[in-house]
A = this chain, B = another copy of it.
Amino acid sequence: MSFRYPDGKLYTTNEQPRSPIPTGSGNRGMRLEDDINESIAYYRRENIALIHKKPTPVQIVNVDYPARSRAKITEAYFRQASTTDYNGVYHGHYLDFEAKETRQKQSFPFKNFHDHQLQHLSDVARQQGCAFLIFRFVASGEIFVMKATVFMQLKAESTRKSLPKDVISENSIPVQSRAFPPIDFLPAVERLFFR
């Protein structure tokens, strides 16, 4: 099942099969979150890295206990997350990131990354964790991985509402979209933080 958050963002449960959005050919237009989830599941299976998506934060107000069946939550509300969606461990190092996509062709809106996510990534960087962002341009299928600190500096210096694609390209590592894993971002993380 799926529904929309108050901010319009689509929510789907983890059990949901991949839902292609018909925007083009091949892998383009598949939901970014599905591709990231498949990629981290691949990394876990192959013992390359251990990364999990955090559960959606929910404030539970009321629970029923129907006879002979499991507890049913009958009243709950979405809470604002205080972190990013993804974190984990890679050769002992702490990884933390957020992934977003845009349908704009030439630039990436700053507002796609929320303030609480950037604040958290800034805190991660201060603790010497690997804090990064994954950008996808839906139309072209291009994917980039950038240090979160670099993004925040570019945002602070900018007078615009979005970051031009050529600026992103100059300050990040490109990742080729492929069949499996769909987004192999760890080599880019390796280059950004450990070389």
Mark A residues whose CB is within 8 Å of B. Answer: 1, 3, 5-6, 11, 13, 15, 44, 47, 49-50, 52, 54-61, 63, 65, 70-79, 81-83, 87-96, 123-124, 126-129
Given A13-B60, A61-B1, A91-B127: A73 and B78 interface contact (C-beta under 8 Å): yes
Please, which residue of chain B has its CB at the minimum distance from the CB of A61? B1
CB-CB under 8 A from A61, the residues of chain B are 1
The 8 A-B pairs of least Cβ separation, nearest first, read A92-B128, A89-B94, A89-B129, A73-B76, A55-B57, A94-B94, A55-B55, A89-B127
Judge whether A58 and B71 touch: CB under 8 Å.
no
Q: What is the bound-complex CA distance between A3 and B13, given in angstroms? A: 24
Judge whether B127 and A92 touch: CB under 8 Å.
yes
Judge whether B128 and A6 touch: CB under 8 Å.
no
CB-CB under 8 A from A128, the residues of chain B are 89, 91-92
Q: What is the bound-complex CA distance between A43 and B77, given in angstroms? A: 28
Judge whether A71 and B123 touch: CB under 8 Å.
no
Shortest distance from the beta carbon of A85 to any chain B beta carbon, whole Å: 11
CB-CB under 8 A from A83, the residues of chain B are 52
Please, which residue of chain B has its CB at the minimum distance from the CB of A123? B50
Shortest distance from the beta carbon of A169 to any chain B beta carbon, whole Å: 28
Q: What is the bound-complex CA distance between A82 and B54, given in angstroms? A: 10
Please, which residue of chain B has its CB at the minimum distance from the CB of A12? B60
CB-CB under 8 A from A124, the residues of chain B are 50, 89
Q: What are 22 sample pairs from A and B whose C-beta atoms fall under 8 A apart? A: A5-B71, A6-B65, A6-B71, A44-B123, A47-B126, A50-B123, A50-B126, A52-B83, A54-B54, A55-B79, A55-B81, A58-B58, A58-B60, A58-B76, A72-B76, A73-B73, A89-B94, A89-B127, A90-B127, A92-B94, A93-B94, A94-B94
